[in-house]
Structure 1
Amino acid sequence: MNLSKSVTINEVALRDGLQLEEKILTVAEKKLLFEKLENASILNVEFGSFVHPKAVPQMANSKELFMDIGQKEHVTLISLIPNLKGAQIAAELGVKEVNYVFSISNTHNEQNVRKSTERSLEGFKDIKLYCDLHNIVVDVTLATSFGCPFEGKISEEKVLALTDQLIENEAHIVTFADTTGMANPEQIYRLMSKVKQKYPQQLFGLHLHNTRGMGLANIIAGMQAGINRFDTALGGIGGCPFAPGATGNVCTEDVVHMLEEMGIQTNIQIDPLLEASHLLKQLLGQQLPSYVAKAGKSTRKYPVPNQA
């Protein structure tokens, strides 16, 4: 296989992972999780979002969490923002990277942020100008890039046209999101190959869900197309509160285990990562979708049963 020798993992459990959970974790609990992730050498963490607390109450303490964690020289702390006001909050706090999310599907965007896709694109232009003035990196995530739960299939032409506009306006990173886990490996490979061929110098990422069990296969397909930046969530938790059936981000420890077994560097330590996953399980009080946390690493050996 023609794969990169290393990948970048963006850990999104503290934001996308927790935003569907009934139990709302305290700042202290989230900070403890962050410290476990930091101990596993994760260098990119999406810690929360600056959205209205009535819309996503699980993220209401994001500002306090960032202030409690403090600036980290070796870890990039990323916040999701829904609009220019979110970017202003990020700048006031000193956040260095933001994730602006909107949907290619106009129907989903109306459900998610109560505005049209075109209006969200115009909002990005204002956000980019503001963030440039404050030295903030802007990652634009295009939700429903591979399918919408309301509209069905999304045409590649529509994705490519919107990507063109983002790059014309100098988006630092463009991330394509499989918001409800509708994508398949062939679809991922085909679309990512096209964007990489057209814009070989642009930084692209993938945000994948494992809703239908194709998350790991889709990561490999993305890598074959030249993508080496992926959003993943500890324990495989998460989803979009405005997209039916969007449970299950692709699981961080499953991805790291797979790639490291293949000789592909993530620079993440699997044993401390599994400790973080076990802590998350305790904090949420429920089983997690993670395969590796349940079965252990593939190098695990068992004693031979006593047949006497």
Structure 2
Amino acid sequence: MIKLIECPRDAMQGRPDFIDTAIKAAYIDQLMRVGFDTIDFGSFVSPKAIPQMRDTAEVLSLLDMFKSKSKLLAIVANTRGAEDALHFEEIDFLGFPLSVSETFQQRNTNKSIEEALRAVEEIQNKCEVAGKTLVTYLSMGFGNPYGDPYSPELIADFVGKLDQLDIKIISFADTIGSAKPDLIKSLFEINANAYPEIEFGVHLHTHPDDLEPKINAAVEAGCMRFDGALKGFGGCPMAKDDLVGNVATENLIKILEKKGYDLGLDKNNLNEAMKLANVVFS
């Protein structure tokens, strides 16, 4: 079964003007009625680093959890953020951005890769105790603009380390929009065959014209977990100097439905969410 992960957090986090807390909550509430598997709704990170997300706990308190079967995911960048997130029983998943690029790991979380791997282990242990699931994003998973080493073998090495920590969900993140269909397909095939107990997903940042061949490549390789953001808003504010847009969820839906997948979405609520997105991101 295809899992769609809708990412309003990723859409919002790089915007310079603060989005009112009540507006955020209303938007996420609407998204939760659509039928997405998971909503990546916020993050427990330094407000100095990502000021847009400083109200995540307050947003959570305003959500109507009884109208939705969607699960909630919050991004954390360190053990302290994980501890903050784990206080909330409404949160099902914690997400940690682990980079295969030393430069980007420092830029994104102010850690070395070695320090980040220790944080993953600590957070994984805390998640297991709390009955939560840690999703590890392998950022720069399809290429590196900083001159750091990159290869499919390096990705496989990272996956092996995460498997040793008993990580069950890994999402390959194309942080800067550099993924090519052949590489997407080979990374999924190699790692999914080697680690069948791990759920692999893809979090792409891409230009709309390049999307369909990338999604087709992932599906053909067996990927069943896809991240997106309505209208393609957002991107990583810590990557390079320009934001590369997220996958527009509505385009992702069209591609997957064209391939014959029934995604089980409430299209009326999806249309309402798209209307609201125009207001939130105007």
What's the TM-score bracket when you normalise by the shorter of the two chains?
over 0.9
State the AA in 2 paired with 1:267: G
- Cα distance in structure 1, aligned partners of 2:207 and 2:103: 20
State the AA in 2 paired with 1:30: K
Asked if 1:98 is matched to 2:103, the reply is no
Partner of 1:242: 238
Shift in Å, 1:34: 1.5
Partner of 1:254: 251
Distance change (3 Å), C-alpha of 1:71 and 1:38: closer
Asked if 1:69 is matched to 2:63, the reply is yes
Shift in Å, 1:52: 0.8
Query: Which among 171, 174, 195 is matched to residue 175 of structure 1?
Result: 171
Aligned pairs for 1:68-87 within 5 A: 68-69=62-63, 71=65, 74-87=69-82
Partner of 1:124: 120
State the AA in 2 paired with 1:256: I
State the AA in 1 paired with 2:176: T
Query: Residues 185-213 of structure 1, C-alpha deviation per residue, up to 9 Å, x if partnerless?
Result: 01100111100111123111110111474
Partner of 1:265: 262
TM-score after normalising by structure 2: 0.94
Partner of 1:31: 25
Q: Secondary structure at the match of 2:277?
A: helix
Aligned pairs for 1:210-289 within 5 A: 210-211=206-207, 213-244=209-240, 245-285=242-282
The number of residues matched between the two structures is 279
State the AA in 1 paired with 2:249: T
Shift in Å, 1:71: 4.4
- Cα distance in structure 2, aligned partners of 1:253 and 1:284: 16
CA contact (8 A) 1:40 1:269 kept: yes
Query: Which among 199, 205, 208 is matched to residue 204 of structure 2?
Result: 208
State the AA in 1 paired with 2:212: L
Q: Secondary structure at the match of 2:86?
A: helix
Partner of 1:58: 52
State the AA in 2 paired with 1:68: L
CA contact (8 A) 2:5 2:226 kept: yes
CA contact (8 A) 2:29 2:64 kept: no
- Cα distance in structure 2, aligned partners of 1:140 and 1:262: 28
Query: Residues 156-213 of structure 1, C-alpha deviation per residue, up to 9 Å, x if partnerless?
Result: 1111001000011100201110001100101100111100111123111110111474
Q: Which moved more, 1:178-187 or 1:267-276?
A: 267-276
- Cα distance in structure 1, aligned partners of 2:185 and 2:202: 11
Query: Residues 201-257 of structure 1, C-alpha deviation per residue, up to 9 Å, x if partnerless?
Result: 311111011147423321111111111001111110111111123321101111112
- Cα distance in structure 2, aligned partners of 1:215 and 1:249: 10
- Cα distance in structure 2, aligned partners of 1:194 and 1:246: 30
- Give the superposed CA RMSD: 1.6
CA contact (8 A) 1:144 1:178 kept: yes
Partner of 1:19: 13
For structure 1, list consecutive stretches of 5 or more residues without a partner in the other structure.
1-5, 286-308
Q: Secondary structure at the match of 1:171?
A: coil
The list of structure 1 runs, each at least 4 consecutive aligned residues, that deviate by more than 6 angstroms after superposition, is: none
Aligned pairs for 1:286-301 within 5 A: none
- Cα distance in structure 2, aligned partners of 1:153 and 1:230: 26
Distance change (3 Å), C-alpha of 1:152 and 1:84: closer
Q: Secondary structure at the match of 1:210?
A: coil
Q: Which has the greater radius of gyration?
A: 1
- Cα distance in structure 2, aligned partners of 1:139 and 1:263: 27
Q: Secondary structure at the match of 1:98?
A: strand
State the AA in 2 paired with 1:241: P
Q: Secondary structure at the match of 1:93?
A: coil
Query: Which among 124, 129, 140 is matched to residue 136 of structure 2?
Result: 140
